[in-house]
Structure 1
Amino acid sequence: FCFLFCAHRPMQTLYQRTFYFHFKNLRFANGRNNTFLCYEVRRMECGLPVRLYRGVFKQVTPNLHAEECFLYWFHSIVLEVLSPREEYKIIWYLSWSPCFHCADQVAKFLATHCNVSLLIFSARLYCFWDEWVQENLRRLSQEGAQMAAMSFQEFRECLEKFVDNDGQPFRPWKKLYRNYRFQNAMLQKILRSTSLSENIFRFQFNNQQRIKKPHRSRRTYLCYQLQWFDGREPLRGYLQNKRAKHAEILLIDMMRSMELGQVQITCYITWSPCPTCAQELAAFKQDHPDLVLRIYASRLYFHWKRKFQKGLYNLWRAGVHVDVMGLSEFTDCWTNFVNQQKPFKAWDRLEGNSRSIGRRLSRIRESWGLQDVINSFGNLQLTPPLP
């Protein structure tokens, strides 16, 4: 208990030597194996931010990072003491951008705390070449976090707020501006990417029932393509769940903001829609009778539960084409959304898994179609109504 309590207690300031060594925005930062997180927590009062807390966390052990220490502290000191319904604005100055695990944890935190906004400034990018790190940084952005590299202004602010500097001004080091431009350009390139990496695609869209190690969560990815009938260029992109909204709802919101007219939308999705998303998609299709909507799912989501089955059947009844991804759909998804200069190579048992999932989907459709017939017979009046 004592270790956990001390581990999650923030420091008040940094030594100058620590700041200038660990926050130096070098491209190759040898020997800088620790992460320092300088934070400022503000509460919104009458539309204006009022500072509540300020401090510094650092990595305690290889398995206890600075970001996790902050989240533990924020829960125990802020959310459990102050009103959880207040709006909070958090600013981080990080020596390293979040790793794969921390980005995932912070994204989950933001997804469940819609009253918290987070602004992250990073001196350096951690393993920015790693596809999984890139993907979780994008997920962090999708959950509402704003991210940027630390510029001269942020380094100066960080020193003035968090460093015991005896009133001395910030002393910029050599190549600070050049390294900032490199770090920020790389970060923005990662966040703007509209293509899936090969590893992400092969893991998230894989239609095998069991996944191999390392065990990572298989999330919802929705790749969409809008094709107009007037010859315009197709619109392509992909969506993930964002805070309280599923990817399907985000797609509906995007389509509502456009003048669709006659358009065909093809969706490749890792998990079939949940009942709520199915209901919203069916209603949207009924409101737009000229819309052609095709949904191909890699896997079926809770297919044994009746309310999930009913959601799929309601999509069919509304005129939405729902089917399982086969080899041709995986190939098309690869060509349009992975953007690799090589042909798609199927994984083991891809087609066998597709046929098995397809039979399961057909049984759902047939059973609910039969239920409709039974209900129709039950509603028939076999005798004349009473006067």
Structure 2
Amino acid sequence: MAERNNNSKPNNKNGEPKDPPNNAEEVPEEESAKKKELEELPPFEVVEGSRIPASSFMFQFKNVEYSSGRNKTLLCYKVERGEDQVFHGYLEDEHVSAHAEEAFFSNVLPQFLSSGAVSVTCYVSSSPCVNCAACIARCLRRNKTLKLRLVVARLFQWEESEIRGALRGITSAGCQLRMMKSADYLYVWQNFVEPDIVLNEEGESEQKSEQGAFIPWEDLDENSRYYEEKLSEILR
């Protein structure tokens, strides 16, 4: 499976930060403040009430065994609170210092946990790493009224003993963990995905694909069953 890379980008090709030259001009205060603000932005993107581009969904959520190039995690969430309060959104990480799961359970979900029971379903492109699993388990233990379902497309480095133990840990904490099936893909497509937009010969935007036309790849069901067997072995 593709590894999650948490290394930030070096400042130059040698990986060493450069000191400013002695005769460097002073950066205007307004520009300096803007630069600082950009540097302090969180290393993940939170998109509320929006949709994932279809091509990104089809690539990142494809349940292949060897996920070469799929080094980004997408998390679609549905939060239900009370009888008529339903919230949708998705997170996408860039693997700098926070993964999408950690960002959701540490920064997004707490705003919905102020009072009463909360039911959360997360559709994630891959299962959590050890640190994200620990974050999920802590959240469940601290919030006894939280009901969580985690539905994942692929198992992340499931051969590793630490990962296997982490997955058992979140289920023992109360998380319902399972693999995505055809019906789950269709649900995410209809509720979280938007058609790709391209320009025609006249330079006008047009849809590349229809919103309702989710076409499963040939081995989707076979791969889903394969991962279900692996997950069942891990959780025994």
Q: Is 2:63–2:154's contact at 8 Å kept on the other side of the alignment?
A: yes
Q: 1:342 to 1:144 in 2, by over 3 A?
A: closer
Is the contact made by 2:150 and 2:176 (CA closer than 8 Å) also made in structure 1?
A: yes
Relative contact order, higher structure (CA 8 A, sep 6+): 2
Distance 1:90 1:330, change over 3 A: farther
Q: Is 1:316 aligned to 2:171, yes or no?
A: yes
Task: Give the whole-Å Cα distance in 1 for the aligned partners of 2:71 and 2:44.
Answer: 21
Q: 1:204 to 1:117 in 2, by over 3 A?
A: farther
Q: In the alignment, which residue of structure 2 is the partner of 1:241?
A: 93
Separation in 2, partners of 1:294, 1:355: 19
- The size of the alignment, in residue pairs, is 198
Residue in structure 1 matched with residue 124 of structure 2 by the alignment:
269
Q: Report if aligned partners of 2:81, 2:119 keep a CA contact under 8 Å in 1.
A: yes
The residue identity in structure 1 corresponding to 2:59 is: F
Tell me by how many angstroms 1:217 deviates. Answer: 3.6
Which of these residues, 219, 224, 228, is aligned with residue 354 of structure 1? 224
The alignment partner of 1:72 has SS state of coil
Deviation string 1:103-146 (CA, Å, 9 cap, x unpaired) is xxxxxxxxxxxxx84759xxxxxxxxxxxxxxxxxxxx76389x
2:218 is the alignment partner of 1:344: no
In the alignment, what sits opposite 2:110?
256
Q: Is the 8 A contact 2:44 2:103 kept in 1?
A: no
Q: How far 1:74 moved relative to its partner? A: 9.7
Give the conservation status (yes or no) of the 8 Å contact 2:189–2:212: no
SS in structure 1 at match of 2:174 = coil
Rate the CA distance shift 1:117–1:216 in 2: closer, same or farther, 3 A: farther
Q: Is the 8 A contact 2:44 2:100 kept in 1?
A: no
Is contact 2:153-2:180 (8 Å) kept? yes
The 3-state SS of whatever aligns with 1:257 is helix
Question: Equivalences for 1:1-387 in 2 at 5 Å?
Answer: 71-72=11-12, 79-81=17-19, 117=36, 143=43, 194-210=50-66, 216-232=69-85, 234-241=86-93, 243-252=96-105, 253-258=107-112, 259-340=114-195, 341-366=211-236
The residue type paired with residue 326 of structure 1 is K
Amino acid at match of 1:345: I
The 3-state SS of whatever aligns with 1:353 is helix
Contact 2:82–2:116 (8 Å) recurs in 1: no
Larger radius of gyration: 1
SS in 1 for 2:153: strand
Q: Tell me the distance in 2 between the aligned counterparts of 1:313 and 1:255.
A: 22
Secondary structure of 1:239's counterpart equals strand
Q: Distance in 1 between matches of 2:28 and 2:167?
A: 41
The verdict on how the C-alpha distance between 1:319 and 1:266 changes in structure 2, with shifts beyond 3 A counting, is same
Normalized against structure 2, the TM-score is what?
Answer: 0.73
Unaligned ranges ≥5, structure 2: 1-8, 21-26, 196-210
Secondary structure at 1:244 match in 2: coil
Unmatched runs of 5 consecutive residues or more in structure 1:
1-67, 83-88, 94-115, 121-140, 146-190, 367-387
**For the Cα contact (< 8 Å) 1:223–1:337, is it kept in 2?**
yes
Q: Is the contact between residue 78 and residue 89 of structure 2 (CA under 8 Å) also seen in structure 1?
A: yes
Aligned letter for 1:225?
A: K
What does the per-residue CA deviation read over 1:278-317, in whole Å, with 9 as the maximum and x for residues that have no partner? Answer: 1111121121111110001111111011110011001111
Overall identity of the aligned pairs, in %: 25
CA distance in 2 between partners of 1:144 and 1:327 (Å): 28
